[in-house]
Every structure is written in C-alpha cells, then in structure tokens.
Structure 1
Amino acid sequence: MCDEHGGPAEALAAAPRLAEGAAVDPIALQPVDEVRITTLVDNMFDALLGSDERVSRVSPGLAWEPAAQFEGSRTDPGLRAEHGFAALVTVRRGTSTTTLLFDTGLSVDGMVTNASRMDIDLSDVHGVVLSHGHFDHAGGLVGLAGRRGARALPMVLHPGAWTRRRLSLPNNHIFEMPTLSRRALEGEGFEVVERREPSLLVDDCVLITGEVDRTTEYERGMPPPHQAWTGSGWEHDALVPDDQALVVNVRDRGLVVLTGCGHAGAINIVRHAQRLTGVDRLHALLGGLHLSGPFFEPVIPPTVAALIELAPAMVAPGHCTGWRAQHALAAALPDAWLPSSSGSTYRLAA
C-alpha cells in the first residue's frame, strides 16, 4: 500500500546521518542471566508450530469458550492474530526479575485477551515501552489500563510518538492514522516519560535505544505516501524518528535486540546498539523488520547479507517483516531463523 519511490527531495530526506566510531556517551549496559520474550500479539497465529529448547508455543486446549454448535457447547479459539505487535519481556539477573511490556498491539482487547488465554497476569508489568507512535503498536494501552485499574504505570516513548500521520495513497485515498493523546494516556494512569536519547531501565539491564542513527545506504525509511503534519502542512515522513528498540545484553552471549517495526532499519538498529554498548556480538534479533512490499524488497538482500555477517544465534522476525523477507532469512540463516506467532516465548540465557 506504500510502494511508490520518491524523487530527489525524498532521497535527501532519507539520507543517512554520519555516526562513526565509538559512542560519545557510551552506555554501560549490565549483562543479564536470562531474558524471556513472549509475543502477545503478532500478525500470525499458528497453533501447529512446535516447541524446542529455544522457543515454547501455546498448546491446544488453551482456553475454552461457549459454542453451542459443538457437543459440550464449547470450543478452543486459540489466540488472536492482528496487524500489530506486542511483546512481554522478562529479564532476570541473579534472583531479581523484572517484566516490561514492549508495544500493545492494534486492537483495544487483542493483547489482554491473548494474555488472559495464556494465563499471563499483566498486573505484574513494571513498565511499558512504545517502539513508536503508529496505532498498531499502541492500540491495547486502554485495555491494559482497564486490567490494572487506577495504579500508575511508567511508559517510555520518543516525543515524536505524538506525531499526526497519514497515508496519501495513489488512488487519492487518504487514511489519517489514529494519533496518540498524552492527556488521554495520563488520564488512564500512565506516567509518560519522553526521551529522544537512550534510556537505561531495570537497574541498567535494559537499554531503550532512543532515536536511532541512520548509517546504512540502503535502509531509506518509509515511502512518500507516509506523511506527517508539520503544523502548517503534510510532508513526507521518511525517517519515523520516534522508532526505537529494546536491547538486552545476555551474559557471555551478546545483544538481544527487539524491534516493533524496525522503521529505522534492522541493520541501523543493530549497529546503533553495538555502538552505544560497545558489545559487538549480536545474539538475537526479534520483532518487526518492515521489509514487506515492493518499496522495501530491494532492502532485503543487503539486510540478509549483513545479518549473515553478524551471525546471530536466533532471528525471529514477525509483524511487518513480509513473506519474501521471511523466506530469504529462513534460507540464509536456517539454524537461527524461527517463525513468529502470537503466543511464542523465546528464552535466551547465559
């Protein structure tokens, strides 16, 4: 739906920024003993996927609901899939364990429904991180607030997440995306923390990248139909500057990078995390990589080539990665690639 290539102005808007050498303000990211990432919402749910030592999947008989057409008047609906993303991140260091929510899916009730069916208590969440302001990552915030009641919950986001955005499509169809409201979120009990710069959470064990440096030549951001309101008019929003990722350093293994859509580019994000932390080794890459559709397909080969060089132990792309990129990654990294699905729990340990 966003497949057009732009002219010189669009190319200039998406030009990479220079970011060479070590970070000026390096991040002392403390290593952890284990991180578990549970995909609460993804574009796909496959009840037939198997589990192994790296990932556990939900089993049939998960949650029964009334259905009069069956003997016994009940059925097992499995989990919801929707065009959105939400992940529960549980970090353990020694005997200390902390749980964060990274994005909340598209619909008001999709994430909380899946959590309930998986017997996950979202009242145990210590904080929320938004990868960016697109509505398919923030739709479940109200549902989360309803489950928690009036208790305050910190939420970290880039200030650009409030940006008003739209898609101006070739057939003259305009789709203005739902825009986050700070006043509404604070009214629901969220303590909003705005940061353009990197943030350290959970006793310095979790890094939120903040705004990502764009250093590759091929990750050009969004096509011209993706626009932002400047206050006086609509302009091409190529960079989606509010895009950020969550990073954990697993002891003796390396970095685990979790993206929402990866609008900054998967390789830009990984290199940014490496530069900030001084940790060269990429252990795992999970989340949306936004390589779907004709505009992004030329980005697939160099992305795959860079990931082959990085040699992660796990690659679990989901959400907006797209089937062509999934096939390419599965073929190039057969020992590392895992299919993503709502209800998958990935365990990465020292």
Structure 2
Amino acid sequence: MQEKRLLYKMIFDVGSSNYTFIHNSNISGSNLSDVNSIVLSHWHYDHTGGLYKVLEQIKDEVQIICHEFAKSERFFRRSDEIKITSLLGKTRLEIFPLLSTSKIVNQKPINMKKIEDLNGNIVFNKKSYELLNINGFRIIVAGEIPRIHHIEDFKTFCLLQDDVIKNDSILDDKCIILEYEDKAILLTGCCHSGIMNTLDYIKSLTDKPISHLIGGFHMANASNQRIKKTIEYLMTFQKYKNPLYLFPIHCSGEKFLHELIRANSPDLKPFNASVGTVFTF
C-alpha cells in the first residue's frame, strides 16, 4: 500500500470573531501550525473574523489569498427601518448616527500591519489563481465571477469607496475548485455571485465535470421562482454519467434543501451536511 503524504494544506475561510473555527479545529484535532495558504471567500465578518487568531496558530509564513475589496469598510443593515438606497452616496460621517445606534453595523478593512506582524503574506487577486498543480491534481481559486443570470442579482449590501457609500456587488466572492483527472469538486463560501453564475464561470477554468458542490449557496431568502430556476439549471447544466452531489450549508436555507430533495431528480443527490463532516475523494 502506498504511504499517504501531505501535499498541501489550506484553510478556506476562518469563521467569525467568536473563534468557532479555532474551537472546532481543536476539538477535531486539526493541526493548524503547518498550513500553507488561507483563502478568504469574501471579506464578510462571519468568514474572516477569526483570521488574526488563526494566524497566531501558524508557525511559518503563510499566504493569504483575498480580493482588494478587503481593504474597504463594509456596512450591514440591522434594522428594517433602514433602506440600503437611503445610505448610497452619503459619507461615513453622515451615517455615523446609524452606526452608534446599531441600526447598521460595520466591518473594518483588513489590517495590513497586523497581517505582516503575524507572518502573513497577502495576495490580492481579481483573476483565477492556481494554488497547486501536481500529479494530475489542481487547486484553483476563482477570480471575479461575471454576473449573467439577472435572477441572481441583489442590492442589499454597501461599502465605503472614495469616501462615499456605494452599492456592494461583493465582487470578491470566490470559490475553490479541486480538480482531479476525471472530475472537479467545487467549494463555495457564500456564493453571493449565485450558483448559476458561478457554475457558468467555472466552465472557463476546468473542462472536468463537477461531481460535488459543497458550501453556502446563499438561497435562504431566494424567491420560489429563483429556487425553481436554480434546480432546473442544476439538472441540465452539464452532461455527466454520474449524479451531482450537493451539500448546501451555511446561508443555503432549509427551503432550498427541501426543494432539492422534493425534486427527486436522479441527476441530483442533496445531503444535509453538518460541522465535522469529513469528505474523502
């Protein structure tokens, strides 16, 4: 039997500032000290809040791959009284009263000095990025994902750019492709770009059929029409002899998982994954 050896170790998102990722890593016995790369799917606090604490666990210099939007302050609505359109075009000073009353909350930009002090090496990428290519196996980080399917559009987030509040399309939303000789596995963070947009884009990065789709699908608040169209797309977007295995977690929503199961398609095999699930390919 051929002895197994570690080729590469990466972390895809680091959880929120409550350090749940560190806690779960410790419980599972995962060693973080020899991590090669950290990939951040997008600069939202529930995916990046544990970054500095994770870096403290890593002994050598570690590569951090993210988008330049990590350098922008972001804002999240926490009151139904506030409409995103009422914030656009204003300065930070003008919206400060809303911040002080927590009607909106903010996420600070990435702290470059702290990253440097913790031995992190940041790579800002807009285009796809190949992390590993060895023995027929590739790890590819997506670049900016084109928005083609308008049903997946949204206008619910904003960020500060050029000292003005602007609509945030979350162009930093990215995914990871694990490409084998005969298939590819897709890992998503939140999939703010939309599942259909993401899978269309992935076709430009790999010619292998997608066998597994794992992660957040951002369908928790999707309309019935969008859910229906997405499921139809998943059943037809590729020709592959095996079914597509789906593991919608995080922001995917129970309704979407329920509708996937109810579709009862031989081309789709949805599962309800949980913390601690281990995948072996």
Whole-angstrom CA distance in 2 between matches of 1:297 and 1:177: 31
1:189–1:110 CA distance, 2 compared to 1 (3 A): same
Does 2:133 align with 1:203? yes
Does 2:192 align with 1:263? yes
The answer to whether the 8 A contact 1:199-1:209 is kept is yes
Does 2:146 align with 1:213? yes
The answer to whether the 8 A contact 2:35-2:58 is kept is no
| Map of 2:98 onto structure 1 | none
| Map of 1:300 onto structure 2 | 227
Whole-angstrom CA distance in 1 between matches of 2:264 and 2:188: 19
Q: CA shift at 1:186, angstroms?
A: 2.0
1:234–1:207 CA distance, 2 compared to 1 (3 A): same
The answer to whether the 8 A contact 2:72-2:108 is kept is no
Does 2:197 align with 1:288? no
Whole-angstrom CA distance in 1 between matches of 2:133 and 2:263: 37
| Map of 1:319 onto structure 2 | 250
1:191–1:328 CA distance, 2 compared to 1 (3 A): same
| Map of 2:89 onto structure 1 | none
Q: CA shift at 1:333, angstroms?
A: 5.4
Whole-angstrom CA distance in 2 between matches of 1:259 and 1:135: 16
Over the matched positions of the two proteins, sequence identity in percent amounts to 24
* 2:269 maps to amino acid: A
1:175–1:273 CA distance, 2 compared to 1 (3 A): same
Superposition pairs of residues 1-350 of structure 1, within 5 angstroms: 97-149=7-59, 151-168=60-77, 169-172=79-82, 173-203=103-133, 205-220=138-153, 222-224=154-156, 226-237=157-168, 239-252=169-182, 254-279=183-208, 281-293=209-221, 297-310=224-237, 312-332=243-263, 336-348=269-281
Whole-angstrom CA distance in 1 between matches of 2:45 and 2:223: 21
Gaps of 5+ in 1: 1-93
Q: Which has the higher contact order (CA 8 A, sep 6+)?
A: 1
Q: Deviation string for 1:247-269 (max 9, x for gaps)?
A: 012222x2211010001111111
Whole-angstrom CA distance in 2 between matches of 1:101 and 1:248: 13
What secondary structure, in the 3-state scheme, does the structure 1 residue paired with 2:21 have?
helix
State the aligned residue count.
248
1:130–1:118 CA distance, 2 compared to 1 (3 A): same
Whole-angstrom CA distance in 2 between matches of 1:331 and 1:147: 43
Whole-angstrom CA distance in 1 between matches of 2:261 and 2:107: 32
TM-score by length of 1: 0.66
1:96–1:342 CA distance, 2 compared to 1 (3 A): closer
Q: Pairwise CA RMSD of aligned residues?
A: 2.1
* 1:305 maps to amino acid: E
Gaps of 5+ in 2: 83-102
Q: CA shift at 1:277, angstroms?
A: 2.1
The answer to whether the 8 A contact 2:158-2:167 is kept is yes
